[in-house]
Structure 1
């Protein structure tokens, strides 16, 4: 990584619709409209966002770019769960579609998850040795294809996908050249210390999702005592600075190793209904931004 002077930290903080409860999982609570979510992002001073799930923004890339521009927001990337371990499924058409949309909107990061092929994140199959070999090879192939578009494809370790636990994260590091999206929350819930990973493999970190985590609830997820969606609804994720992730140490570590990419604020939440104006996720994201201002000093 380059050690050139970094742009100010807060200028590299982006939003994510999941912080407003917008999620691709069927039945994931009340879904806010894009107009409100994007307007509240801009109200908080954010200047960029990830796309969110299919259906949140317009499907046509040109219309998507217009929608974001109308709210004064740039696109930094998009989360794309794809099945990588099954020989009867070709992930490349979906990847190409995502790459065209990213390019049209000026985004430069494809955030991949090794999806199970099942709905939700509460169960996952065991891919076996052959499935793992196929998954790792496809990661490298997707990274190569994305590079042709001028885009970085980063694998996102994620609860309920095939890359969740610490040994699985290490398997990706050892078995492929694909960079990672370091998601502080999913890593901690899956048993990986995100700060230690940033220290151990800084050159593999291409994108960052910032979450804080209630480690008591996280342990319940790891031990199978509560499902992921239920845990999120129960407060698994906290505003930055109010959980058990050392966000300040993580940022110092990454910046010290030359990280110059985006920090995407992602406090996954589940909404039961439409919040009042000025309430709900807006307040949690505002509190997280206030915490990041103390880190950036």
Structure 2
């Protein structure tokens, strides 16, 4: 079974600061909008943003939502920094365990990612001199395996997100991660394009390891321009590289056909990452997320969220 979710990042709410003068929706408003747009699940946004414990479960229950997962980046390539980050990581796992109590049949998937580096953040798409050496890969793999083991102590099964501006971004780096670890892969159509991959080829290539999906549509010309200028990842979001499904260059029909043909079962999280700008229509994010849900009607009829 595939279950649809959306994410606070589609409304501009994530770990990066908002643009000056822009008011972002709070947790109650985001949950209400995602539910009203027709999704069964919600990504966590910044850990704890939706509440903790009873507050979290009450908010999810009132809006008919399950917690789908959420971003947890860690400095996997630095042993000392990784050890220092473990208390916060354990707290994040406790948060997901709190949310899992409400919908045990569709548990949240903590979505691990590497924290990257200054050089990677300045170079979306990576480059020949930016990848880890063998020792770096050994360190990353060892710490990812430790993170997976710790999550298991909380009854959780994490998944790993290949992500722009990190050490697991390009198809070759994804291959290396999967060869060195047993962790499943969060497959993200938009971030794979940034890393130089093709979504359809990637879905086929890693079919047996994909256990979580992030679906984005992308204006590749905008992405290529940002990458060529080495403008950094924030510009990808502020320059609206991610657009409603059907407005960009993603072949949605072929992508969905490939997903269903693979036998995939789990969360399908619709993300349209954006950093809202002063003067934006405040109703635009919700309008876009309704459009995204409508675009998926051929595969997920209205009233059938999973």
Q: Is the partner of 1:223 in helix, strand or coil? A: helix
Map 1:128-147 → 2, pairs under 5 A: 128-147=133-152
TM-score in terms of structure 1 length: 0.87
Deviation at residue 147 of structure 1 after TM alignment: 3.3
Paired position in structure 1 for 2:276: 271
Q: Which residue of 2 aligns with 1:40?
A: 33
For the residues of structure 2 that align with 1:100 and 1:271, how far apart are their CA atoms? 31
Q: 1:95 to 1:117 in 2, by over 3 A?
A: farther
CA distance in 1, matches of 2:255, 2:144: 26
Which secondary structure does the structure 1 equivalent of 2:213 belong to? strand
Deviations 1:142-200 (A, max 9, x none): 22332343322111111122211222112112222211100111111111112211111
Q: Deviations over 1:43-82 (max 9, x none)?
A: 1122210110135222x33322222223222111121111
Deviation of 1:269 after TM superposition, in Å, equals: 0.9
Query: Match of 1:167?
Result: 172
Pair 109,54 (structure 1): closer, same or farther in 2 beyond 3 Å:
closer
Tell me the equivalent position of 1:26: 17
Task: Specify which of 180, 198, 204 is matched with residue 203 of structure 2.
Answer: 198
Superposed, which structure 2 residues align to 1:29-178 within 5 Å?
30=22, 31-54=24-47, 56-58=49-51, 60-89=52-81, 90=83, 91-106=85-100, 107-116=107-116, 121-122=121-122, 127-178=132-183
Consecutive unaligned residues of structure 1, counting only runs of 5 or more, are 1-6
SS for the counterpart of 2:221 is helix
Q: CA deviation at 1:276?
A: 5.9
SS in 2 for 1:259: coil
Alignment pair present for 1:288 and 2:280: no
Structure 2 partner of 1:189: 194
Asked whether the 8 Å contact 1:166–1:192 carries over to 2, the reply is yes
- Distance in 2, Cα, partners of 1:153 & 1:135: 16
Q: Secondary structure at the match of 2:70?
A: strand
Q: Give yes or no for contact 1:28–1:229 (8 Å, CA) kept in 2.
A: no
| DSSP-derived class of the 1:182 partner | strand
Q: Alignment partner of 1:105: what SS?
A: helix
- CA drift of 1:208 comes to 0.4
Tell me if structure 2 keeps the 8 A contact 1:122–1:229: no
Aligned residues: 286
What is the CA-CA distance between 1:117 and the residue it aligns to?
Answer: 6.3
Counterparts in 2 of 1:162 and 1:28: CA distance versus 1, 3 Å: farther
Q: Which residues of 2 match residues 206-217 of structure 1 at below 5 A?
A: 206-217=211-222
Structure 2 unaligned residues grouped into runs of 5+: 101-106, 125-129, 302-306
